[in-house]
């Protein structure tokens, strides 16, 4: 009986060792494919075989990322992450609240059912309430922040 346990233990160790080797091989193969893809992309863009204006190239993308990092990229990433978390939290809380309300009230559930079916069939981008943040230019006279430009004009 002891011999069977030892035999199973060594078989188990060999199995785990082979599994670890396979996992490492998969990881190195994935890294190799990524590096080969980037290298071929860079070479083709440098030789002019692909249009680097349309497809860019890895070195230009890297330089742009480095350039953006020196221009408050981290601040902008933080604002985006913050807004995403706040929006997700508000949407989740409202969704749970409405779901509980519809679960408790059979009457309200029956009344709102056709409207919810229609809303669910619409593309989610069609449900935007405003385009205040879309298409702003760097010219400060074009900023409206959701208010009318007529209210901020000086009549001097």
Domain ranges of the chain: 12-71, 72-126
pLDDT band at 135 (very low <50, low <70, confident <90, very high): low
Cα angle 94, 98, 101 (rounded to 5 degrees) comes to 140
Residue-level pLDDT at 129: 65
65, 58 contact by CB (below 8 A): no
135: left (phi over 0), alpha (psi -120 to 50) or beta: left
CA separation for the pair 128, 112 (Å, rounded): 20
Q: Which residues contact 145 (CB under 8 A, 6 or more apart)?
A: 132
Residue-level pLDDT at 150: 41
The answer to whether residue 142 scores a pLDDT higher than 60 is no
pTM for this entry: 0.45
- Of 3-12, 91-100, 133-142, least confident by mean pLDDT is 133-142
Q: What is the mean pLDDT of residues 37-52?
A: 93
pLDDT band at 153 (very low <50, low <70, confident <90, very high): very low
Is residue 25 classed as helix, strand or coil in its secondary structure? Answer: helix
Residue-level pLDDT at 12: 86
Q: Residues 57-110: pLDDT tens digits?
A: 999 999 888 887 777 878 888 999 999 999 999 999 999 999 999 999 999 999
Q: Two tokens at 68? A: 């953006």
Place of tokens 């020196």: 70
CA separation for the pair 134, 53 (Å, rounded): 25
The answer to whether residue 151 scores a pLDDT higher than 60 is no
> Where is mean pLDDT largest: 12-26, 64-78, 125-139?
12-26
User: Is the CA virtual torsion 143, 146, 147, 150 positive or negative?
Assistant: positive
Q: Which residues contact 60 (CB under 8 A, 6 or more apart)?
A: 52
Q: Two tokens at 101? A: 């309300």
Residue-level pLDDT at 1: 54
């Amino acid at each position: 009986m002891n011999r069977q346990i030892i035999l199973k233990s060594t078989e188990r160790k060999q199995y785990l060792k082979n599994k670890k080797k396979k996992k490492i091989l998969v990881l190195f193969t994935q890294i190799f494919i990524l590096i080969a893809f980037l290298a071929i992309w860079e070479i083709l863009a440098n030789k002019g075989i692909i249009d680097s204006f349309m497809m860019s190239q890895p070195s230009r993308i890297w330089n742009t990322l480095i350039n953006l990092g020196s221009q408050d990229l981290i601040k902008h990433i933080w604002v985006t992450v913050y807004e995403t978390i706040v929006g997700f939290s508000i949407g989740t809380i409202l969704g749970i609240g409405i779901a509980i309300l519809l679960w408790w009230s059979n009457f309200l559930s029956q009344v709102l059912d056709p409207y919810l079916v229609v809303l669910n069939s619409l593309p989610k981008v069609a449900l935007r309430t405003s385009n205040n943040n879309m298409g702003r230019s760097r010219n400060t006279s074009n900023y409206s922040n959701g208010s009318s430009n007529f209210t901020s004009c000086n009549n001097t």
